[in-house]
Amino acid sequence: MTYLIDRNLVPSQCHIPREFRSRVAQIKPVSLDEPQQTISSFVSRDIPSLVPLVDSFASVVAGLPSRARDPDQSQPPSMNPMSNSCIIVLRSNGGRLGNKMFMYATAYGLTRMYHCSMYIERRAFDELRETFLVDPVKRISDEQFSNVKNKIQVLSNGCHYTNLSTVIVNSTILELTGYWQNYKYFVNYYKEIRHQFTLKKNILLEIDKYFTYSYKLRNATLVGVHVRRGDFLSQHNINVGFTVSSAEYINKSMTYFTTKYQNVYFIIASDDKTWCIETFGKQQNNNVLITPKHFTPSEDLAILTSCKHTIVTVGTFGWWAAFLTNGEVLCDKNYPRNGTWLSELCPGQEYYPPWYKSL
């Protein structure tokens, strides 16, 4: 039986446990030929633990900081080399939540890597602040940025990593354009990225009351499943290489986890929940829940990151759910489709970190 979580059901006082098992530090360059593993083992080589165990979902909510926004930084970046060695500027480039997270994480990682200052266009910052407690940074308007001289615009090379060491030098103002979908730009600052993408307290409190079956989930191994369909089914997107994961892949992934772990429950979030209900609604083992249709992407992300492990189908949203969850990850080896424009722009071996196991 598949459960569709209902807002009318009585909230439970028992909350979902979530373990933070990461060990974080500077990460050595990795070979994609290394055995599949979780990020915990990937970043923990001879590194002391930096993240304490959090016993329950409720303690995550209760422990969230209350951050006030800093005074608005209205001045455009200075070209005075005494005030800034280099500046990274992030503007709103469209895309959905997962795309925006990649752009912000890359800008943050490059800022840390090259000891730059970071500016973010006001609209882009406000979009992120609808979901996350990202730390206040210097903000700039389109009008102010248009008056900045000697700026350099760098376009993302899809999912391929670009070494910017020859571009980012003293007194450089660098504007990032495109989606910058490669984890190597920010993985060395994993703990900081997770801090930046702390979900807002009101979102966590909203989803907390929907875990109405928590008496079953108390000692369960929770696996989040994100199913992206929607616009990926358009003929244009199919032609360029986008795919949607099959029910066979998802069921095979579920079998992997139920074979490996005990008392496994799957929580499915999707942009096509009708398809998920039709596809998984007749399962007989009572271990599948589907988030409500009225849930926002932010609320779906909050639930997925409350799980211990992740099944990724396609799209950046599920990618980020897996990255922030920090557990075992399965991803679809058929995305993107081989021999297409997208497979050249965003090959799986560049897009997926080495601890994501393809199936």
Is residue 256 a part of any domain in this protein? yes
Is residue 72 a part of any domain in this protein? no
Q: Which domain covers residue 144, as residue numbers?
A: 86-189
Question: For 25-29, 48-52, 149-153, which range has the lowest pLDDT when averaged over its residues?
Answer: 48-52
Single residue among 189, 216, 234 that ends a domain in this structure? 189
Digit-coded pLDDT (tens) for 54-102: 223 333 333 333 332 232 333 444 434 334 479 999 987 778 999 999 9
- pLDDT at residue number 207: 86
Tally of structural domains, the chain: 2
Whether residue 44 is found in the same domain as residue 91: no
pLDDT for residue 346 is more than 90? yes
Q: Name the average pLDDT for the chain.
A: 79
Model's pTM, two decimal places? Answer: 0.78
Single residue among 138, 158, 189 that ends a domain in this structure? 189
State mean pLDDT over 157-171: 88
Phi, psi of 300 (to 5 degrees): -60, -45
Whether residue 254 is found in the same domain as residue 349: yes
Digit-coded pLDDT (tens) for 179-237: 999 999 999 999 999 999 999 999 998 888 777 656 677 789 999 999 999 899 999 99
- pLDDT at residue number 72: 35
Whether residue 217 is found in the same domain as residue 340: yes
Digit-coded pLDDT (tens) for 119-141: 999 889 999 999 999 988 888 88
Whether residue 328 is found in the same domain as residue 210: yes
Q: What is the CATH number of the domain that holds 19?
A: 3.40.50
Is residue 252 a part of any domain in this protein? yes
Question: CB under 8 Å, gap of 24 or more: what pairs does 19-22 form?
Answer: 19/53, 19/54, 19/308, 20/51, 20/52, 20/53, 20/54, 20/326, 21/51, 21/53, 21/326, 21/327, 22/50, 22/51, 22/190, 22/191, 22/194, 22/326
State mean pLDDT over 174-183: 94
- pLDDT at residue number 280: 92
Whether residue 135 is found in the same domain as residue 206: no
Whether residue 206 is found in the same domain as residue 182: no
Is residue 250 a part of any domain in this protein? yes
Whether residue 244 is found in the same domain as residue 321: yes
